[in-house]
Amino acid sequence: MQRFLDEIAEHARLSPEKGQVARYIPQLAKIDPDQFGICVSTADGACYVAGDADVPFSIQSVSKVFALAMALGHAGDSLWSRVGREPSGSAFDSIVLLEREQGVPRNPFINAGALVTTDSYLDMSAPKEALGGLLHFIRAAAGDDDIHINATVARSELATGHRNFAMAHYLASCDNLNNDVDKVLGTYCHQCAIEMSCRQLAMAGRFLIDAPGMPRLLSADRSRRIAALMMTCGHYDGSGDFAFRVGLPGKSGVGGGILVAAPGKASIAVWSPGLNQYGNSKLGTEAMEAFARMTGWSVFG
Ligand code: DON
């Protein structure tokens, strides 16, 4: 395993095409694209790392996996009357789909759907408490208390996130938000601004892989279903491509992180800030494709 990761990190380091860092969130536009980290936390308790695996990065939409777990904990299956479970085939911040579907977002991983899951776990409490609950969940999953929100990144997105504001107000106009719109947006932007290293993220993802000895924070059934949504929706309009190339459920973020679950085997986190045309990590996707080929791991047998 260590040899695989060293080879993948070296390949990434030498790669001339690293993709474009996200520019629409000013704080993310400043990140050095020349970074790459990977961590594999295996079901037998081992942890393998290569590259910049201990450098914290903005997890952005990877947070939607933990937010969904929290929202399901709050609302149970009634959440599914407010948000769908189908791939969108559209960009993560598409507005047009929301109007067509009368305020019920396609899935909990596109931004509109994630605003609904945030609204659900916010559940009339103060944003500080709700975010405290989310951080508590993530820290418990990772077995690491040193996981925090970068308030500068959150403010940077709050100052410029006009599309998310538009979507949140549209959701409110369709009666699909229970909390004050500004509270939902503030909580969502802070949730996205959580920073974790690959090591912390791979550790935190262990609750998804359903293996003996892994932290059991949700029922096995629920973890499996979150992984199913990661496979079908976790990379937005690039989800089919990721499933084809990697064959494992994954959730990406515009900070360049990807959390991947290899059921029964390992939780994997990879990070490289440059993005491909879908807004998913370019080298991260390529690294996961190489990793799946090397290990032969796939949910398709
Ligand atoms: O809401 C946004 O646009 C960002 N906070 C998160 C988007 C994101 O990470 C999409 N992922 N690839």
Give me the mean pLDDT over the 171-193 stretch.
Answer: 98
d(CA 232, CA 242): 9
Which helix (H) or strand (E) element contains residue 198? helix 198-204
Listed as own residue / partner, the contacts of 276-279 with beta carbons closer than 8 Å and 24 or more positions apart are: 276/19, 276/238, 277/238, 278/91, 278/235, 278/236, 278/237, 278/238, 278/241, 279/22, 279/91, 279/92, 279/236, 279/238, 279/252, 279/254
Catalytic residue among 236, 251, 252, 272: 236
Q: How far apart are CA 215 and CA 188, in angstroms?
A: 25
213-251 pLDDT per residue, tens = 787 889 999 999 999 999 999 999 999 999 999 999 999
Q: What is the pLDDT of residues 61-73, one digit of tens each?
A: 999 999 999 999 9
Q: Check residue 215 and give its pLDDT.
A: 79
Q: Is 20 helix (H, G, I), strand (E, B) or coil?
A: strand
Task: Note the pLDDT tens digit of each residue in 77-125.
Answer: 999 999 999 999 999 999 999 999 999 999 999 999 999 999 999 988 9
Question: Cβ(192) to ligand 1 under 6 A?
Answer: yes
Q: Are 280 and 230 in contact, with CB atoms under 8 Å apart? A: no
pLDDT band (50, 70, 90) for residue 47: very high
pTM: 0.97
Q: How far is the CA of 60 from the centre of ligand 1 (A)?
A: 5
Catalytic residue check, 61: yes
Q: Does ligand 1 come within 6 angstroms of the Cβ of 252? A: yes
Measured by CA distance, the residue closest to atom 7 of ligand 1 is 61
Domains defined for the chain, CATH in brackets: 2-60+195-295 (3.40.710.10), 61-194 (3.40.710.10)
Q: Which of 48, 121, 170, 188 is catalytic?
A: 188
User: Is residue 15 annotated as a catalytic residue, yes or no?
Assistant: no
Please report, for residues 155, 205, 255, 259, the alpha-carbon distance to residue 143 in angstroms, rounded to integers and kept in the order given.
28, 11, 23, 17
Ligand 1 pocket member 184 (CB < 6 A): no
